[in-house]
Structure 1
Amino acid sequence: MKKIIKKTLFIGLIVFLLIQLYQPARNLGFEQDLTANFTRAYNVPKNVEHILRTSCYDCHSNNTNYRWYSYVQPGRSFMESHIKDGKKDLNFYEFGNYSKRKQESKLEAIVKQIKSDEIPLSSYTFIHKNAILTPTQKQDVINWINKTKDSLSSKN
């Protein structure tokens, strides 16, 4: 019985080491169209910009701040899946390229998800405690988005 356990652990270790060789491409793109970046397309106050960069940009931009654990599989693949899905849903670096209607829709969705505590994801804030939004931060972002949304509506 001990021989089977040792053999199983050895095989498990070998498999674990082999999967470390697979490292998906990193989300380290650079801003190509600076005017499309959310913070450049709108007059974002510094406090709101800081909140967004801390709590949102790792998954919703073209540039993720990778930490040490991002080098360990299978966590890396899980992380890349979240980033891919996040960017598909909303990419702050490309926000200025969205139609005005889509921008309004995305802003409304952000407010709704902040109010319902859906964002940032708990799987993200579990490790990134600084990304947890305080009630004041939530209100700052919501107030700024509502003001911005109103200005978008008046331009249409």
Structure 2
Amino acid sequence: MKKVLLGILVVIVIIQFIRPEKNVSKVSENDISTVVQIPENVNVILQNACNDCHSNYTKYPWYSEIAPVSWFLAHHVNEGKEHLNFSEWTAYNENQKDHIIHDIEEVLESHEMPLKSYIIMHKEADLTNEQFQTLLDWAKTLK
């Protein structure tokens, strides 16, 4: 039994050295803010509820340093950026933007985003109906 526990402990320690790449960049020339005026109230909502997974500027919580949680978070952020990356907005063509805007509207209307798993650890991302509507109204101006 002691050998099993020691083995588990060794594995836990070893996996701490397997680190995913962090999603931290400087402001991109393709950032949405370079071509779209973002009202301050919308910007606050985006920062609190969207940008960690949908931009190149993730604010990592303390638990992101612990494997295997770090792996899950890295995968989650990469997946979010595949669907929408505000830091690469101007790199999208018009068809891509139209599709993304449609998707934004859908997930806001259904309250699918932010994900419940994200809200658990980020209370500021628990949007009110008014905040959902603010984002939805803003998204419609992107068309």
Whether these two folds match at TM > 0.5 is: yes
Match of 2:104 in 1: 110
Give, as a single letter, the amino acid of the residue that structure 1 aligns with 2:101.
L
Name the structure 2 match of 1:29.
25
State the distance in 1 between where 2:124 and 2:47 align.
11
**After the TM superposition, which residues 32-43 of structure 1 pair with which residues of structure 2 at under 5 Å, given as runs?**
32-33=28-29, 36-43=30-37
4+ residue runs of structure 1 moved beyond 6 angstroms? Answer: none
User: Are residue 73 (structure 1) and residue 67 (structure 2) matched?
Assistant: yes
- Measured in 1, the distance between the counterparts of 2:137 and 2:25 equals 30
| Count of paired positions | 143
Shift of 1:113: 0.4
Q: Paired residue for 1:49, among 43, 50, 53?
A: 43
CA contact (8 A) 1:113 1:119 kept: yes
- Give unpaired runs (5+ residues) of structure 1: 150-156
| Length-normalised TM-score, structure 2 | 0.93
Q: Could you tell me how far 1:31 is from its partner in structure 2?
A: 2.3
Encode CA deviations 1:51-88: one digit per residue, 9 max, x unaligned: 11111111111111111111000000000001111111
Matched with 2:7 is: 11
- Tell me, yes or no, if structure 1 residue 98 matches structure 2 residue 98: no
Q: Which residue identity is paired with 1:48?
A: V
Amino acid at match of 2:72: F
Q: Aligned partners of 1:114 and 1:9: how far apart in 2?
A: 46
Q: Which runs of 5+ in 2 are unaligned?
A: none
Match of 1:83 in 2: 77
CA contact (8 A) 2:55 2:81 kept: yes
Change (3 A) 1:32 1:69: same
Conserved in 1, the CA contact under 8 Å of 2:28 and 2:88?
Answer: no
Distance in 2 (alpha carbons) for counterparts of 1:144 and 1:86: 20
Query: Could you say what the CA RMSD is over the residues aligned between the two structures, in angstroms?
Result: 1.2
Aligned 8 A contact 1:19 1:74 in 2:
yes
Identity level (%): 36
User: Is the Cα contact below 8 Å between 1:58 and 1:64 reproduced in 2?
Assistant: yes
> Which letter does structure 2 place at the counterpart of 1:89?
H
The 2-side partners of 1:134 and 1:84 are apart by 26
Once the 2 structures are TM-superposed, how far is the Cα of residue 39 of structure 1 from its aligned partner?
2.4
1:59 aligns with 2:53: yes
Distance 2:138 2:69 in 1: 35
